[in-house]
Structure 1
Amino acid sequence: MKNIITLFAITLLFSCQNTAQTKKQQENITNAKPVEVPLKNGLAKAYFASGCFWCVEAIYESVKGVEESISGYSGGHTKNPTYEASNTGRTGHAEAVEIIYNPNIVSFETLVDVYFASQNVTQVNGQGPDKGSQYRSIIFYQNEEQKQIILNKKEALAKKLNAKIAAEVYPFQKFWVAEGYHQNYERLHPNHPYIQNVSIPRLNRFKAKFPKELLKESH
């Protein structure tokens, strides 16, 4: 009997592992009033989730006008999420990036174009080999104008591809900065197998199809 109970507990644990949040928690997040982050020293901030943040951080830092890309967590219901907690899929958070950019050089609209051009837009709950709700695609908006930009581009892309676009659209609430060892990971660990086999190929695929005049010579 003890073995049966143990087996049931393990099964229950894994069956819940990639459940982002309950329906009510999800509704509370998606129905919340967006938080607008003010400009600081002329720089704006935008937030995106698109699979492993090591990949996404490097992609955005290759774009002109992006001053910095910071890895972290957003979109969930728990406070102070950690990498270990996020990886269980039970915090509701996704690996995300905070993009600090100069709106006089690059627009929010262009950052959304970068988002869609740098991923498999139809993959649900993951990107490439990274699977689970913590790797799902989310675009965060801070006001109604940003929301409409996102929805219009998502709708146009769905029509163009004749496919359902996986990206969720959330009102921005809070961004939790990830542990220090995650920051600038692609740049600091260029020989890491994941960086060599996943991050760099994904970055190169993006750069090959995005307008060259919008990209830095190096990042």
Structure 2
Amino acid sequence: QGEGGFRLLCPQFAKALRAICDQHGILLICDEIQSGFGRTGKRFGFSHLGIEPDLILLGKSIASGLPLAALVGRKELMDALPKGALGGTYSGNAVACAAALAVMDIMQDEALSEWGNAQEAAIVNAYQRWKASERFPMLGAMTGIGAMRGIVFEDTDNATGGEHLANLLAAGRDAGVLLMPSGRKRNVLRLLPPLTTEPDVMAEGLGLIEQALETLKA
């Protein structure tokens, strides 16, 4: 997911994997800790793949940042566990559980997908504008889906993509926005704003990124 640079799994591969698991009695587990709860424009990332997993890993957004994680699965799997068999560091946190219940209520009552779609539009539009301007030759492809996005930084005559991104992170920090690298070569800018980010704050952040881009030398 984020650390890999938001490289998408193709639906055909996911469906083939589901078929292999069904054929051999293997459980298919989807990690939705980062991609769940609307980050991709749908409630869960696997919804884009046309599959249904046996188990789902959840965390982070489930309690709006408070320490909580969850394992969700088919009834026959979850009922097979004896009481007390499933535990962890975050077990029994009453405040985090209360926060998660509040988050669930909000996610059922409000148009969750619209939040992610609006953020996706803001990020993609900014990226397309930067690319079209031809002022930033180090900008490569955009990766990801929904509001989970990455921007690949390519090598130029003066620096590698990783060096360009490192310089951007420093310039962004000086401008007032904290950014994160990702990808095997650490050359993918990782954009993953909280769904609660207000439109004016999103616009301000993207503006600061553009300001930082202006400092880079091709």
Query: Over alpha carbons, which structure has the higher Rg?
Result: 2
TM-score normalised by L of structure 2: 0.28
Give the TM-score normalised by the residue count of structure 1: 0.27
